[in-house]
Amino acid sequence: MTRISTPFNAKTTAAEILADVDLTGRRIIVTGGASGIGLETVRALRGAGAEVTVATRNPAGGERPLDLSDLGSVRAFVADWTGPVHAIVANAGIMAVPTRQVAANGWELQLATNFLGHFALITGLHDNLRQAGDARVVTVSSGAHLRAPFDFDDPHFERRPYDRWAAYGQSKTADVLLAVGVGRRWAADGVTANSLNPGYIHTNLQRHLDDDTRRAFGSMDDEGNLLTPDYYKTPEQGAATSVLLAASPLLDGVTGRYFSDNQEEEAVPGGPEVPGGVAHWAVDPAAADRLWDYALKATLN
């Protein structure tokens, strides 16, 4: 299978991706669209004419309430939605929560927020995606998915010791598998789905990181000053791959793939030291099907 490449690179901004694209009439949902990469995703999509709904825990103005860790909130959002949706950008997320926290129904919080809530949202809006005729689903994953496959035996860390990075990595593997799963199921409805790693961007996501972890990432010096290494992106650059997948004609008909820096990544063996690519375990069709069945059962209760 030929890997998809585009004329863009790591430093291309979201607005540049959509420079010649007219999104008038297209209705797009961006979760976590009130800050960080999501905010820049919303700005670029609106700049190209799309009607964008920002789904957020703390709505202001025309934003819509959505708490992804609360199935009741996800169901209320779905019930309120009428008409087609042309794209869902599953962007909201939390990272490296230091101690095991659980949502009200007992789900580990990173898995609940980053994956299970998005699964319920996307499957809840299946009919609305179908109505669009050519809808796209975009899941914002992370290079951290290379740290952990999905643990079907103990996804909520009930029996194994909690590890903040294993929990985040697992949830981000699940996001890649979700795009693979949508791609495998909804092609006949005209729905395509792809996932991405946005790169390194200073945002609120790093709120749980201690100074030693920031130093290990190269984003803090010994005196505690925040650093921005060359490989970091601005939020405008960090949002580029999201809008490429959500709205660029270059991605017409492409489904089930994983991108970084606006290019499709190659499949590699995963592992904590692996610097890039997409882990085999995250694009494995059998794992995608197994995860779909697991999530379907979990979100029915």
Ligand X SMILES: NC(=O)c1ccc[n+]([C@@H]2O[C@H](COP(=O)([O-])OP(=O)(O)OC[C@H]3O[C@@H](n4cnc5c(N)ncnc54)[C@H](OP(=O)(O)O)[C@@H]3O)[C@@H](O)[C@H]2O)c1
- Give the binding site for ligand X (CB under 6 A): 31-32, 34-38, 56-58, 66-69, 91-95, 113, 140, 142, 197-198, 200-201, 203-205
In the complex, least distance from residue 292 CB atom to ligand X, rounded to whole angstroms: 20
In the bound complex, which residue of the shown chain has the CB atom lying closest to ligand X? 36
DSSP letters spanning the chain: -PPP--S--TT--HHHHTTT---TT-EEEEETTTSHHHHHHHHHHHHTT-EEEEEESS--TT-EE--TT-HHHHHHHHHH--S--SEEEE-------SS--B-TTS-BHHHIIIIIHHHHHHHHTHHHHHHHSS-EEEEE--GGGGG----SS-TT-SSSPP-HHHHHHHHHHHHHHHHHHHHHHSGGGT-EEEEEE--EE-SGGGGG--HHHHHHTT-B-TTS-B---TTEE-HHHHTHHHHHHHH-GGGTT--SEEEETTEEPPEE---TT--SSEEGGGS-HHHHHHHHHHHHHHHH-
In the complex, least distance from residue 94 CB atom to ligand X, rounded to whole angstroms: 5
Of 22 and 226, CB closest to ligand X: 226
Active-site option among 168, 231, 232, 258 = 168
| Residue 231 annotated among the catalytic residues of the structure | no
Enzyme catalytic residues: 168
